[in-house]
């Protein structure tokens, strides 16, 4: 696989770990002292709203700070338009993202009503912005050492 594809795969694993609320899998993508910086793009002026330092803290945040999925619910990250630059053992990635909240309808006891067809439920976009991780290759493996998340909407954090 090419370096560009390997770097893109790190982001693919990142969004899946976030969707699964799998802190351990997410933390494994970061260097031990990796950092996540979260910004709100307030009319083109980035405002830093949070920072997490250390893979363990980053993994814990996906479990403790992200809302749990509702019954029959799921989040689904999509990333688009990946811009990847490789310089030896360093890489930068810039990708747009959208997070969708999906909630399936509960199947009625008597089955779906006449005329019902296709997927039953709702899909709602809930978050968008840019993922801008910086990665370093160590012992043949790409790890994130700095991950900047630039959100298109402001963010409320529990207890803040």
pLDDT tens profile 17-74: 999 999 999 999 999 999 999 999 999 999 999 999 999 999 988 876 666 777 888 8
Contact between 133 and 148 (Cβ < 8 Å): yes
Q: How far is CA 140 from CA 37, 41, 49, 156, in A?
A: 25, 34, 33, 38
CA atoms of 132 and 129, how far apart (whole Å)? 10
**Domain, as residue range, for 133:** 3-151
Total domain count, the chain: 1
* Structural domain contains residue 26: yes
The answer, yes or no, to whether residue 157 has pLDDT greater than 80, is no
Q: What is the pTM of this model?
A: 0.89
CA atoms of 20 and 16, how far apart (whole Å)? 6
CATH number for the domain spanning 16: value is 3.10.450.50
pLDDT band, very low/low/confident/very high, at 159 (cuts 50, 70, 90): low
pLDDT tens profile 75-103: 889 999 999 999 999 999 999 999 999 88
* Structural domain contains residue 11: yes
């Amino acid at each position: 696989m090419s370096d560009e594809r390997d770097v893109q795969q790190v982001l693919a694993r990142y969004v899946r770990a976030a969707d699964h609320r799998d802190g351990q899998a997410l933390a494994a993508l970061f260097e031990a002292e990796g950092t996540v910086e979260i910004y709100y793009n307030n009319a083109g002026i980035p405002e830093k709203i949070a920072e997490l330092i250390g893979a363990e803290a980053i993994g814990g945040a996906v479990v403790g700070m992200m809302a749990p999925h509702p019954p029959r619910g799921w989040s689904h990250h999509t990333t688009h338009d990946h811009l990847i630059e490789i310089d030896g053992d360093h890489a930068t990635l810039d990708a747009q993202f959208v997070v969708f909240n999906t909630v399936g309808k509960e199947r009625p006891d008597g089955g779906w009503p006449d005329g019902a067809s296709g997927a039953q439920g709702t899909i709602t976009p809930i978050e968008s912005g840019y993922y801008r991780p910086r990665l370093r290759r160590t012992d043949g493996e790409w790890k994130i050492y700095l991950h900047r998340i630039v959100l298109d909407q402001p963010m409320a954090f529990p207890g803040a």
